[in-house]
Chain A
Amino acid sequence: MKQRFEVILAGSGGQGLVLSGILLGEAAILEGKNVVQTQSYGIASRGGFSQAEVIIDREEIIFQQVQSPDVVLVLTREAMEKYSLLAASVPVFYDTTLLDRQAGENFYGFPFTAMASELGHAGTANMIALGVISALTGLVKPENLAKAIDRRFSAEAARRNREALWLGVGMAGKERDNGGI
């Protein structure tokens, strides 16, 4: 099992990336890990480049920023441009509802936003993405993400977000069956 994960969640303000980073961090703490979560955003509360970073480690995390990501999620064109040239060993997850198909072997496209809309909750695309990523990379266990969701949201919102999470976990299973990752 890998000791340290550096994760980038990049997109635009309002897509729930910082919240996703927090939930990832909370799930990792439930697994006894050290976590540092940071973010970078502009002065607009909606739109504009926004990025959350999460480092998960068994050891003390000294420098707080991601220096060489192990996992990347991109939800906008601008974010894709920023992270399209990473080493082929770094999986880049992206939203095929919002972005063109990417050719490289390390790109994993899923229709996060379309799936969220089908669920009836367009705002849960980030949770579907967390489900896919956690299931495919082993960053954290999906059940600990579910626990973190339960602690953060009221009953109805927690149910919606958990539903989205497990939908993502299910999608990941299909991807794996197809030999995707």
Chain B
Amino acid sequence: MQQAAKLMQGNQAIAEGALYAGAGFFAGYPITPSSEIAEECSRRLPLAGGTYMQMEDEIASIGAVIGASLGGTKAFTATSGPGFSLMQENLGLAVMAEVPCVIVNVQRSGPSTGLATKPAQSDVMQIRWGRHGDQSIIALSPASVQECFELMVQAFNFAEKYRVPVILAADEIVAHMRENFLLPEAGEIPLVERKKPLGDPAGYKPFQPDEDGIAPLAAYGSPYVFHVTSSMHGPDGFSNNSPANAAWRVEQLHRKLERYQAEIALTKEFDTSDLDVLLISFGATTRAARAAARLARQEGIKAGVLQLVTLWPFPEREVRALAGRVQRIIVPEMNYSGQVAGEVRRVLGSGADIRQVNKYNGEIITPREILRAIKGDVDK
């Protein structure tokens, strides 16, 4: 990183990350608190030879993104809760048709249009389960402006490598925050390009995985002519309703991510070398958790933080590895029910001492609030 630090906003860093990753297409409908991503892309993408399309709504936006990606371009959109809800149906199509693309969901307080300018982390389960039907999905969650950039690049790399949609699950805090930012040099972060078919176009099967579990993806307009449908299809892309084929397809959609779980499940640890209390956090709340762990250590309590950089697939192994070493686990998150805390319980079972710190009024969880839970004053 040679350039001097710049003051950069999270949303701008997300747009910057998309450009760095080689994105050539954005379609979207601006919505607070994600609008600066669209704004930045409307200026920057055309200058970089790409296309910015302002759509009539979010349904059309993700439709255009899927089309652009099938045309061979790295494509993405950005939205917030109300728009992300509208995108679910076509997001299911992207899963079913294995279309690489990136969807940024800058989470704000809901339900519905809720508090448009206030933060939340309450879309965790919608991101995982918002579509009907059996499926898996990748979601990453940044805690700083630099991570907004890095994880956007990572999101494109995962999308391209595994031929899947990837969600960048940011929140209003990290998206609107400005911090020192260093733009990596071109080439400093390796970029992944989707695997293209080789050989005779007549024999191309767009959903037949190679040895690595991933099927090569041709671009529309190339000699490799192929069919895409949201309905159940065979390796050749054409309708196939046989039970054997349906089971194979559903398994394939899951297994290609299960196989690479260790590569996909990214976490960071802070102050975990000696540990009695583990804070499990994601997104901007990680910062309050880290500050709380430091306050606890000043009072002689060995507290540390596991940041779930990847939310989905859930980093089960990483949670288990640290949880085995501690007496108590605390999961602070900006939602009512404890969406990540529930996953932690699922992974660790009912024997573990797992406590929640939840805030759902549009305000930010503070280090002091987490410290109270560390010291045992909050029990939910």
Q: Which residues of A contact B (CB under 8 A)?
A: 21-22, 25-26, 29, 34-43, 61-65, 67
Complexed CA–CA distance, A62 and B285 (Å) = 11
User: Which of A22, A26, A64 lies in contact with B173, CB distance below 8 A?
Assistant: A64
Once A22-B7, A41-B117 are accepted as A-B contacts, the answer to whether A36 and B364 lie under 8 Å apart by CB is no
Chain B interface main SS type? mixed
Chain A: CB-nearest residue to B177: A38
Q: Which residue of B lies closest to A23 (CB)?
A: B7
Contact indicator A63/B178 (Cβ below 8 Å): no
Residues of B at the A interface (CB closer than 8 Å) are: 4-7, 32, 116-117, 173, 176-180, 284, 287-288, 290-291, 294, 364, 366-367
| Complex alpha-carbon distance, A39 and B11, angstroms | 14
**Which of A26, A29, A39, A62: most chain B CB closer than 10 A?**
A62
Interface centre among A26, A38, A41, A64 (most CB of B within 10 A): A64
B117 and A42 form a contact (CB under 8 A): yes
Partner of B367, one of A34, A38, A39, A63: A63
| Contact partners of B116 in chain A: CB under 8 A | 43
25 A–B contact pairs at CB < 8 A?
A21-B178, A22-B7, A22-B178, A25-B7, A26-B7, A29-B5, A29-B6, A29-B7, A34-B179, A35-B179, A35-B180, A37-B7, A37-B177, A37-B179, A38-B176, A38-B178, A40-B117, A43-B117, A62-B287, A62-B290, A63-B287, A63-B290, A63-B366, A64-B173, A64-B287
Contacting A65 at CB < 8 Å: which of B32, B117, B180, B364? B364
Q: Which 5 A-B pairs have the closest CB atoms?
A: A63-B291, A37-B178, A25-B7, A62-B291, A26-B7
Q: Which residues on the A side are within 8 Å of B367 (C-beta)?
A: 63, 67
Partner of A62, one of B32, B173, B294, B366: B294
Chain A interface SS verdict (over half): mixed
- Evaluate contact between A64 and B117: CB separation under 8 angstroms: no
In the bound complex, CA of A63 to CA of B173 (Å): 11
**How many Å from the CB of B148 to the closest CB on chain A?**
13
Q: Write the chain B residue with the least CB distance to A43.
A: B116
CB of B178 within 8 A of CB of A35, answer: yes
Report the separation of the CA atoms of residues A42 and B116 in the bound assembly, to the nearest whole angstrom.
8
Bound together, the chains give a CA A43 to CA B31 distance in angstroms of 12
Measured CA separation A67–B32 after assembly (Å): 26
Cβ of B284 and Cβ of A64 under 8 Å apart? yes
- A34 interface neighbour in B32, B180, B284, B288, Cβ under 8 Å: B180
